[in-house]
Amino acid sequence: MAKRATGQGSGTGKSTGKSGAKPSDDAATASTNEQTAAVSDAASAAKASPGKATAATVPASKPPLSKAPASKAPASKAAASKAAASKAAASKPAGKPKSRGRKPPPVVLAKPKPWGWIAAALAVVVFAVAAIGYALLQAQEQEDLADPSNIEGLQTKSFVSAQHTDQAVAYEDTPPFGGAHDLAWADCTGTVYPIPIRDENAVHSLEHGAVWITYNPDLPQQQVDTLANLVDGEAFIMMSPYPGLASPISLQTWGNQLFVQSSADPRIVQFITALRQNPANTPEPGATCDNPEFAQNPIPAEPDGVGDPSAPATSDPAATTDPAATTDPAATTDPAATTAP
């Protein structure tokens, strides 16, 4: 930028000393860059007006020689440098035109550091870092609500089998939170069950993306009411008492379980917000929670099989892994054929 300003200043014809050396530099580079353009310009000019051909051919023949005698640039040379400078000015953002129209001081002058440039660069960098940092922060905040990894004490497990069975299943966890399950899902449309419901049906609801809240029957009624208020009227959630539960309250979605001590624990809302119908733990997205028949007549938990893993008298592990047992009823049972996706 500064050199262009000096170049224009020297366009007055003075080409001595330092200020003369700079535009010559300019001219040399510009002329090599624009050589072809200049040549073709000259050629076309020569064709158009033979009378002016001599003037035009001077710069055209010049470029090969231009490096050596640059410092004593003739008038045509100065014009070329002027043209190059104005071309450059058109293609680059405008610099500081402070020396425009003024003759450069004859004696120069150790150039000061370009403090203006340094300050501008610093300001831009600081601003860029701040803006990017803020943008990243904002992006992180957005994702927090649906992120279960912040839930303290969350237990996770992956279940590969999602087979349907009409047999009892020996679940490893109490309450279970994934695995083989009954053909019919427990209604989970904000359903508050007054009695313990059958695990095999509840697990099917988890497969549809529902949250299942279970509580020990010992839980004070006030806390039961608090939970019921949370559940009632909400989509994809249900709650039921669970005799023998290891903690007062537990929450389940497919592959996720959390035990808490009280209905006032903030992790309950955190769990529901992050995991209900979360695509990461909904093996069957788009499936419904609606099952009015089950809501009206829930299948009660088998008294011996619930909350007592040491007595799996009612479960038959062979049945859960036998494909024949699981596929056969699916083909014939009506609810599966009409509603199960």
Partner 1 sequence: MTRQPAGRQRRWLVGVLAGVIAVGLLLSGGALAVLTGVGDPSMPAEGSVDAGFARDMSTHHQQAVSMAGLVRDRSTDPDVQLLAYDVEFTQNSQVGMMQGWLQAWGLPVNTLAPQMSWMSGHQDMAGGPMPGMATPDQLAELRTLSGAELDVRFLQLMIVHHQGGLAMAEYAVANANADVVRRLAQTIVDSQSAEVLTMEAMLRSRGGSALPPP
Instruction: Give the footprint of partner 1 on this chain (CB under 8 A).
Output: 1-3, 18, 21-22, 108, 110-111, 113-114, 117-118, 120-121, 124-125, 127-128, 131-132, 134-135, 138-139, 142-143, 145-146, 189, 209, 230, 233-236, 269, 272-274, 276-279, 286, 288, 290, 292, 296, 338-339
SS (H, E, C) 232-253: CCCCCEEEEECCCCCCCEEEEE
Closest CA to 70 of 128, 122, 7: 7
Q: Cβ of residue 176: shortest distance to partner 1, in angstroms?
A: 23
Smallest gap, in angstroms, from Cβ of residue 76 to partner 1? 24
* Residue placing its CB nearer to partner 1 in the complex, 127 or 327: 127
- In terms of CB distance, is 84 or 169 closer to partner 1? 84
Amino acid letter, residue 158: S
- Tell me how far apart the alpha carbons of residues 253 and 261 are, in angstroms, rounded to a whole number: 18
Cβ closest to partner 1, residue 121 vs residue 311 = 121
Measuring CA to CA, how many Å separate 241 from each of 42, 194, 206?
96, 7, 16
Nearer to partner 1 (CB atom), residue 170 or residue 183: 183
Task: Tell me the closest approach of the beta carbon of residue 135 to partner 1, in angstroms.
Answer: 4
Minimum gap (Å) between residue 300 Cβ and partner 1? 21
Closest to partner 1 by CB, 32 vs 117, is 117
Q: Which residues lie closer than 8 Å to 156 by C-beta, 6 or more apart?
A: 255, 256, 257
State in angstroms the smallest separation of the CB of 228 from partner 1: 14
CB of 145 to partner 1, least distance (A): 6
Nearer to partner 1, 209 or 307 (CB): 209
Distance CA 257, CA 270 (A): 13
Q: Give the H or E element holding residue 257.
A: strand 256-260
Q: What are phi and psi of 256, to 5 degrees?
A: -135, 135
